[in-house]
Amino acid sequence: MGLPPTQSPAASGGTGPAQPNSGASGQYVRAQDSRMPQGGQVWREYDLRPYLRRVQGLENPQQPLVDWILRETGTDRWFGSTAGLLSVEQDKLRVYHVPEVQAIVAGVVDRYVHPDLPGYAVSARLVTVESVNWRAAALPMLEPVRVETPGVEAWLMSRENLAVLVAQLRQRVDFQEHGSASVEIVHGQSHEIARWLPRSYPQGVQLTPGRYPGYQVQMGQIREGYSLRISPLVASDAQSVEVMVNCQADQIEKFSPLTLDLPVQPGAPTGRVQTEVPQVASWRLNERFRWPLDRVLLVSRGVVAMPGLPGNATIFDRVIPAEAPRADVVLVMDCHRVGNADATAAPLSPQRVSRLNYHGRY
């Protein structure tokens, strides 16, 4: 995708009159060759080599950059009445759009090629508290943050107050830190933690006339678990950080039994078959947060379904309980410098970018 750097988009069309073309799928698809429409758009190429040198070995390292451009500009800008083009080819980002959009793109690219910003990372940890009364004691230490998603709350805290809060929470029997969900994500990258547990159950039956016993039980499968994806990007002045959080969780609350009376072949012992209908509780979180680097962000999804049982094991590495538990789910995020102060001294390896690690800032 994209045009050669020496060729203007406006000159890419044919010189003769536009001719209708039949699509590859047949006579019902028709198109016309024409020149690139002009509406004040500018063609620019952005050099990504300073960024790509630091992330050698990563698969498709340009994708997080493209994702952030689309977040900043909005996807409608690229599919509306004003023609636009966004293309990545090896170490170049090619953009054809109006100057306003080009300025937004340049701001995002600057944060990726900046020599100092790769020295930052966001540590994230998932904790749960069964009772919401923990908020009463924490209220003086919490500074509310505006959130768009209904039912979600977020607060800023100092790191010192966070240490006090966690010390209080660790004395509670209903508090649990989910160590398998802690992760460190380097500036500009994305990381996803996913834990899903498949469950099989008798979903229905298929009648088989002429075959003993006259029916066949059809098995279904449903999964329980969660996925958490975090994408951080530090501001150019290194005073704040933006994080996109995407989380989803599905919990099997129970299987409701359903008994079916079926016709059977002669000699079959019974025509009663028990199937099951799953009852699932789900929740989603898709939110973007921005906060200063000298503070810590807490995000609560509220009291929601949490797959698994209390205990020291990970929340999805055990059997489903008889009653689905509920808990206040809190995500704690802290942006800080990592490694050597000279962030450009060595390239970031795939293990460094996506390693499961959490520094003891509590």
Go through the chain and tell me how many residues it has: 362
Answer yes or no: is pLDDT of 359 > 70: no
Task: Provide the pLDDT for residue 107.
Answer: 95
**235 phi, psi to nearest 5 deg:** -65, 155
Q: How far apart are CA 183 and CA 198, in angstroms?
A: 24
Residue 302, beta-bridge partner list: 329
Q: How confident is the model at residue 338 (pLDDT cuts 50, 70, 90)?
A: confident
pLDDT band at 265 (very low <50, low <70, confident <90, very high): confident
Domains of the chain: 38-113 (3.30.1370), 119-252+280-354 (no CATH)
Torsion of CA 221, 330, 348, 88, to 10 degrees: 70
pLDDT the model gives residue 40:
87
Q: State the Cα torsion 102-103-106-107 to the nearest 10°.
A: -150
pLDDT digit string, tens, across residues 71-83: 999 999 998 888 8
Q: Which helix (H) or strand (E) holds 89?
A: strand 85-89
Higher-confidence position of 59 and 86: 86
pLDDT of 24 higher than 80: no
Whole-number percent of the chain with pLDDT over 70: 77
Comparing 276 with 265, which gets the higher pLDDT?
276
How far is Cα 176 from Cα 331, in angstroms, rounded to an integer?
Answer: 12
**What integer pLDDT is reported at residue 339 of this predicted model?**
67
Model pLDDT, residue 29: 75
CB 263 within 8 A of CB 225: no
Which structure tokens are listed for 284?
Answer: 């989603």
Is the pLDDT score of 144 beyond 50? yes
What is the distance between the terminal CA atoms of the chain, rounded to a whole angstrom? 47
How many other CB atoms are there within 10 angstroms of residue 357's CB atom? 12
pLDDT at 7: 45
Q: Beta-carbon neighbour count of residue 220 at 10 Å?
A: 14
Residues 6+ apart with CB under 8 A from 254: 278, 279, 322, 323, 324
- Residue 130: count other Cβ atoms within 10 Å of its Cβ: 18
Q: Is the pLDDT of residue 19 over 60?
A: no
Least confident range from 13-17, 46-50, 173-177, 306-310: namely 13-17
If you average pLDDT over every residue of the chain, what do you get? 80
Among 98, 93, 92, residue whose Cα is nearest residue 78: 98
pLDDT digits (tens, 9 = 90+) for 208-258: 887 878 888 999 999 988 888 999 999 999 999 999 999 998 989 889 999
The closest of 189, 223, 219, 186 to 204, measured between CA atoms, is 219
Looking at the chain, the whole-number percentage of residues with pLDDT higher than 90 is 47
More confident residue, 121 or 57: 121
Query: What pLDDT was estimated at residue 208?
Result: 85
- What is the amino acid identity at position 104? I
pLDDT band at 351 (very low <50, low <70, confident <90, very high): very low
pLDDT in tens, 310-327: 433 334 333 444 456 789
